[in-house]
């Protein structure tokens, strides 16, 4: 194990992708938050969980550790909850990759999430089909194959597809 | 410190008990989409419970772990609301899997998430910064759970005669249990004084508004509630919690300290 510069650590982790959605990197998803120098001089890699119960988090942490180890970098992995992960951190490039992969990318989260005044569900923006681009789509299930996705169906091309839920 | 730990355990026990109950639908959902939905809701709840137990274990600092707190405490040590441990059917119904009633599940999830959106919202400013972080995440999840259960509540209430009757029966059965929300336990009082917890009584008007609005849209009637106040959050539970825990804890107790 050697002491690596922070830049080297970023480079080593750059190619690491999400275990469930292998087209986007942890950095693009906003899961990989920071690489910094710890109080004892050891490099700290900061990750944040997506959903509280996302089963991929353990895998992500293991992947980060394994990548650092194979690059011969000594570092500590820290899980940080705050500020809470949001799909708004996802880069435009990442959203485009999701679309190309067949997952409709998340809309911006609603800025006024004042649940105290939350009554009826606000009218949602239409979700565009990642296959044909039509906005003539319908929710088939508010919950999908992973915690972060809902299931939709396109009424024009008839394809079912995943929608990455705004969170 | 012990006030914070007790409060964290109350929140964690709520999440893990309802998470376990909702997970009972896994493989038995009325339709595939709802099977997925309930499994997802459980995943969020159990995830929240893990974060809360981890924080409680950290503050205890006696080598305990999230698993020890979830799997090696007995029913009288659990601090969850009684509402959350009830089986998925009304009172005086046979205890068979086939008797599970989805309206009961939906109404319970609705009543609980309508409370938790307000609790998590308030706890974002908790003096315990880890709890504040957990609250910010959980708020997003609880809001989604509320959307889901409210949608179904309206669909059932304003649906067929059969679905309306069942939804109304579930509301009549479960609403009295929510009286427990509005009494304050010694643990909650201590947590409020420490700036860690929220005084639930301040959330009652907002909860009432949410519930009344949804019931009206669902064409359901809000029953008069009086008398009985459950005391699950001080450890006095119904007979149902023991059976739930027996199932949930059996694997961990058969293989103590097992890791997989």
- ipTM, two decimals: 0.83
Q: What is the pLDDT of residue A116?
A: 45
Structurally, chain B folds into a number of domains equal to 1
Q: What is the pLDDT of residue B71?
A: 96
Q: Please tell me if residue A84 touches chain B, with a CB cutoff of 8 Å.
A: yes
Q: Is residue B231 part of a domain?
A: yes
Q: What is the span of the domain harbouring residue B153?
A: 2-254
How far apart (Å, rounded) are the C-alpha atoms in residues A127 and A98?
14
Quick check: B175 pLDDT over 90?
yes
Which of A12-16, B112-116, B218-222 is the least confident region?
A: A12-16
Question: ∠ CA(B32), CA(B38), CA(B39), 5° rounding?
Answer: 90
| Backbone φ/ψ region at A30: left (φ over 0), alpha (ψ -120 to 50), beta | left
What residues does each domain of chain A span?
Answer: 6-79, 90-109+122-164
A128 to chain B, closest Cα gap in Å = 21
Closest partner residue to B140 (CB to CB) among A82, A83, A167 is A167
Q: Is residue B259 part of a domain?
A: no
Nearest-Cα residue of chain B relative to residue A86: B137
**What is the CATH classification number for the domain harbouring B177?**
1.20.1260.10
Instruction: Determine whether the interchain pair A147/B44 forms a contact, defined as Cβ–Cβ distance below 8 Å.
Output: yes
Quick check: B183 pLDDT over 60?
yes
Q: What is the pLDDT of residue A5?
A: 85
Quick check: B258 pLDDT over 90?
no
Quick check: B158 pLDDT over 80?
yes
Confidence at B114, pLDDT banded by 50, 70, 90 = very high
pTM comes to 0.91
User: Would you list which residues of chain B are within 8 Å, Cβ to Cβ, of chain A?
Assistant: 32-33, 36-37, 39-48, 50-51, 117-118, 121, 129-130, 132-134, 136-141, 143-144, 146-148, 150-151, 206, 209-210, 213, 217
Using a CB-CB cut-off of 8 Å, the residues of chain B touching A165 are: 144
- Of B26, B218, B43, B87, nearest to A51 by C-alpha is B43
Q: Is residue B260 part of a domain?
A: no
Largest CA distance in chain A: 58
| pLDDT tens series, chain A, 167 aa | 556 788 889 999 998 999 888 999 999 999 999 999 989 988 999 999 888 888 888 899 999 999 999 989 888 999 998 888 999 999 899 999 999 999 999 988 865 455 544 555 555 678 999 999 999 999 888 888 888 899 999 999 999 999 998 88
Structurally, what CATH architecture does the domain formed by A6-79 represent?
A: 2-Layer Sandwich (3.30)
Instruction: Determine whether the interchain pair A115/B117 forms a contact, defined as Cβ–Cβ distance below 8 Å.
Output: yes
Q: Which residues pair with A77 in a beta bridge?
A: A45
Using a CB-CB cut-off of 8 Å, the residues of chain A touching B134 are: 52, 81
């Amino acid at each position: 194990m050697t002491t690596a510069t922070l830049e080297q650590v970023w480079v080593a982790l750059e190619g690491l992708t999400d275990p469930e959605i292998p087209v986007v990197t942890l950095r693009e998803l906003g899961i990989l938050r920071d690489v910094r120098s710890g109080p004892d001089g050891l490099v700290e890699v900061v990750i944040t969980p997506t959903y509280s119960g996302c089963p991929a988090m353990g895998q992500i942490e293991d992947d980060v550790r394994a990548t650092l180890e194979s690059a011969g970098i000594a570092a500590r992995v820290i899980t940080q909850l705050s500020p809470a992960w949001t799909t708004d951190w996802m880069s435009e490039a990442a959203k485009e990759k999701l679309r190309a992969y067949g997952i409709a990318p998340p809309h911006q989260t609603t800025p006024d999430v004042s649940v105290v005044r939350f009554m009826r569900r606000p009218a949602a923006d239409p979700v565009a089909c990642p296959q044909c681009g039509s906005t003539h789509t319908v929710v088939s299930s508010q919950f999908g194959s992973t915690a972060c996705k809902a299931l939709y169906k396109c009424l024009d091309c008839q394809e079912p597809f995943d929608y990455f839920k705004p969170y | 410190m012990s006030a914070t730990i007790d409060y964290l355990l109350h929140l964690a026990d709520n999440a893990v008990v309802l998470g376990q109950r909702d997970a009972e639908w896994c493989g038995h959902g009325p339709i595939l989409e709802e099977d997925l939905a309930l499994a997802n809701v459980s995943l969020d709840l159990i995830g929240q419970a893990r974060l809360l137990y981890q924080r409680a274990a950290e503050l205890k600092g006696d080598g305990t772990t999230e698993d020890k707190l979830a799997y090696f405490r007995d029913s009288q040590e659990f601090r969850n609301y009684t509402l959350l441990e009830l089986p998925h059917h009304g009172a005086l119904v046979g205890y068979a899997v086939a008797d599970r009633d989805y309206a009961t599940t939906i109404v319970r999830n609705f009543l609980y998430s309508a409370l938790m959106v307000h609790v998590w919202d308030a706890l974002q400013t908790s003096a315990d910064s880890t709890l504040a972080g957990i609250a910010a995440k959980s708020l997003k999840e609880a809001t989604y759970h509320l959307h889901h259960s409210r949608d179904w509540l309206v669909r059932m209430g304003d649906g067929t005669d059969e679905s309306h009757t069942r939804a109304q029966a579930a509301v009549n059965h479960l609403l009295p249990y929510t009286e427990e929300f509005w009494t304050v336990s010694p643990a909650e009082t201590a947590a409020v004084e420490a700036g860690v917890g929220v005084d639930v009584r301040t959330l009652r008007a907002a909860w009432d508004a949410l519930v009344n609005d949804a019931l009206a849209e669902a064409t359901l009637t809000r029953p008069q509630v009086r008398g009985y106040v459950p005391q699950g959050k001080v450890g006095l539970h119904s007979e149902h919690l023991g059976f739930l825990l027996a199932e949930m804890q059996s694997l961990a107790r058969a293989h103590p300290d097992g890791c997989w």
